[in-house]
Structure 1
């Protein structure tokens, strides 16, 4: 092996050795002199210290004693809880164009007469904590996401179940299961080409789950496991996340949820601002994309950049989730929040929409989403305003563990930004790995 190759190998080994202790176990850490955005009751604390012990936040104050803890000088920069990545397929979708790497939806029939409703379908069983998408999102300050069960042709308006996962490499969900439904024009092909058919099917599913339609009926749509699963949500033992945009569909959803006495949250909600008062009264959170502004379809004719601001002003809990390729671009969620601020949403409300609101809505608010004593130490130290894309995450801690600030994308960046070798050196172009002589 030549000297340059040995030198590069030695540097790589040294870097790996330096990173391994950071990811191996939680370490007691004192983050000193930070602008702590708690996303909770204490608001923003300037020049504050945060002590992390045993993977949890042990103390918040000024002049805390470090003891044996590692000290990180924040130099006044922002410290926040890790951010929510939105409703994604991180860990259940590797390459969107390759079917063998997508596990977010179920399709068992291609014709309307073959409608198969399987609420027992659970995407968390396919979760891969070693997906390369995890570090890509994590180095950008994303600490948790909601695995979403999508609807596809050959499926039904009931997508299945998902749950919150933390992006720390843990294989199991961090929160309770939620049930995903799709309503409106985007799901009409799953309900006989009519949005009215969606309410007919939902009523039949309720009647089946509650025994008003016999399990052996030729018209039954649910399996025994499906009836048990749906009953759990109808008994208010779980949250239903409904993808819906048009105001009239949201109105019908609120009426249905009140009649069935179930808990719902809205994903999308392009026209939700038109029913802001009703949503606030029903305590229904809305997870929206603030960049949905133009009427891309007939369900979004009332889309506006002020959606988040208007909902918040009425008392609605607002969170964020990107439309489109959310799994591979979860990091852009803070850009969404920044755009909501630019269009009237208070900064603190935008931060809450990335932290506390999703944590509470999806059943992990007792551990995640705020900086408070006793909470899991999932934290991000930023170089500046985290809602300004000019700034970046300096360090991410998950459960008190300092995460390596590397991903496949940063490695590719560094590889292709190497200085080009000179013609005299005889080295390979920078796009190729070094080879032994």
Structure 2
């Protein structure tokens, strides 16, 4: 038994060592057209080198790398970043047991990333659309604050998935009962009460019986992060009047603010630009689905970009299952007036900037090696991914759909249910 344990331990160490060696290998993609997501926006016949999960060089004088990939006639982009969905928190939308993005008891402290499943079959599907990272958000309307949004990697590695809190979420939307006015009032009241606590003299904060400073409650800690700009407030809303209410909250409490949904944003684009507030929209929203969305148009992304707003793009509807289509949404935004470079930024660096992901969304020395090599224009349906790396580690592009296709096309004496 001891010999078996020693052998198992040595084998485990060997596998770990080989894994670390593979990650430590340097890789260069040469002669490619690179969309940097930064400045300059495009590099022709360029080279990018990465090692140990980080980009180490752009256009070095001499290419020295363990693996060299010829990128002639290829395009390299930063990994795309999805947002405002429940990727990894849902498997089958119609099956409640597979949904973890909401709860009737959820409040500002609700963090659905605790249930994030790196083995979800939707992650490989997202990777086929060039998605290397994503902003997951809680859903539900039971509390004034819905919970915590997080950045997650789309890697299917259970032990290496990156998860970071990036925002506090609230929805200002039509209420089936009551009024959205009460939600806005309650948010303002909670922020006011916490601000008063923070501004109170230290002696007033002490527990008179124990002579100690009171320990802040979990919700108070999160409210403090909002007030101290440690986390932004992500407001999901469409109506221009509600966007202006969110801007009032930002001004009153000096909050960092992000607006998502935002079909009404063009009507208040100047105010959003003056306040330097990022906007996350779906460029495919065209016709109003409610009285809140009367401004929905295919050209909204171009309109907002013309006001020099930081515009991020997302997929409307069931984004968790359709996130791989983000690049097609960006292509349609280009067809309706958004510049190509702005569209690439809107699915990479702009989303990273909005959520303070300083190492993501750009191809620059020192940034994370989240990279995609495309056979052609990434916003064209006919283009394919040839390589995709997350943190410098190449990812599989095989999906559950591929496996099912192969399973049922393979001839066997056994019924398909018995084949692997």
SS of residue paired to 2:134: strand
SS of residue paired to 1:137: helix
Give the alignment's TM-score, normalised by structure 1: 0.82
**Equivalent residue for 2:209?**
none
**Contact 1:94/1:133, CA 8 A, preserved across alignment:** yes
**Contact 1:209/1:228, CA 8 A, preserved across alignment:** no
Q: Structure 1: where are the runs of 5+ without partners? A: 1-16, 109-116, 216-222
Of 89, 98, 102, the match for 2:86: 89
**Equivalent residue for 1:224?**
217
Distance in 2, Cα, partners of 1:96 & 1:171: 26
**Contact 1:184/1:244, CA 8 A, preserved across alignment:** yes
Of 352, 363, 366, the match for 1:374: 366
Structure 1 pair 184–88 and aligned structure 2 pair: CA distance change class (3 A): closer
CA RMSD of aligned residues (A): 2.6
Structure 1 pair 434–172 and aligned structure 2 pair: CA distance change class (3 A): closer
Structure 1 pair 63–232 and aligned structure 2 pair: CA distance change class (3 A): closer
Bigger shift: residues 386-395 or 141-150:
386-395
Of 42, 45, 49, the match for 1:44: 42
Matched, 1:364 2:357: yes
Task: Report deviation, 1:329.
Answer: 1.0
**Equivalent residue for 2:342?**
349
SS of residue paired to 1:256: helix
**Equivalent residue for 1:146?**
135
Distance in 2, Cα, partners of 1:336 & 1:26: 35
**Equivalent residue for 1:236?**
229
Q: Structure 2: where are the runs of 5+ without partners? A: 1-14, 198-203, 206-215
- 1:113-124 equivalences under 5 Å are 118-124=107-113
**Contact 1:242/1:265, CA 8 A, preserved across alignment:** yes
Task: Report deviation, 1:59.
Answer: 1.0
**Contact 2:52/2:392, CA 8 A, preserved across alignment:** yes
Once the two structures are superposed, residues 197-253 of structure 1 have per-residue CA deviations (whole angstroms, 9 ceiling, x without a partner) of 2222112222343357x99xxxxxxx9321221122122221111100011111121
Distance in 1, Cα, partners of 2:24 & 2:286: 43
Distance in 1, Cα, partners of 2:360 & 2:282: 22
**Equivalent residue for 2:54?**
56
Structure 1 pair 247–56 and aligned structure 2 pair: CA distance change class (3 A): same
Structure 1 pair 75–63 and aligned structure 2 pair: CA distance change class (3 A): farther
Structure 1 pair 22–211 and aligned structure 2 pair: CA distance change class (3 A): closer
Once the two structures are superposed, residues 120-143 of structure 1 have per-residue CA deviations (whole angstroms, 9 ceiling, x without a partner) of 111122222222222121132100
**Equivalent residue for 1:8?**
none
**Contact 2:129/2:326, CA 8 A, preserved across alignment:** no
**Contact 1:295/1:301, CA 8 A, preserved across alignment:** yes
Task: Report deviation, 1:26.
Answer: 4.8
**Equivalent residue for 1:34?**
32
**Equivalent residue for 1:78?**
75
Task: Report deviation, 1:428.
Answer: 5.3
**Equivalent residue for 1:137?**
126
**Contact 2:30/2:71, CA 8 A, preserved across alignment:** yes
**Equivalent residue for 2:385?**
393
Task: Report deviation, 1:270.
Answer: 0.4
Structure 1 pair 305–258 and aligned structure 2 pair: CA distance change class (3 A): same
SS of residue paired to 2:30: strand
Structure 1 pair 276–417 and aligned structure 2 pair: CA distance change class (3 A): farther
Give the alignment's TM-score, normalised by structure 2: 0.86
**Contact 1:290/1:340, CA 8 A, preserved across alignment:** yes
Distance in 1, Cα, partners of 2:127 & 2:256: 30
Distance in 2, Cα, partners of 1:238 & 1:434: 48
Number of aligned residue pairs: 387
Matched, 1:203 2:196: no
Task: Report deviation, 1:173.
Answer: 4.3
Distance in 2, Cα, partners of 1:175 & 1:194: 33
Task: Report deviation, 1:284.
Answer: 0.6
Task: Report deviation, 1:82.
Answer: 0.5
**Equivalent residue for 1:183?**
172
SS of residue paired to 1:210: helix
Of 290, 294, 298, the match for 1:297: 290
SS of residue paired to 1:75: coil
Distance in 2, Cα, partners of 1:73 & 1:362: 33
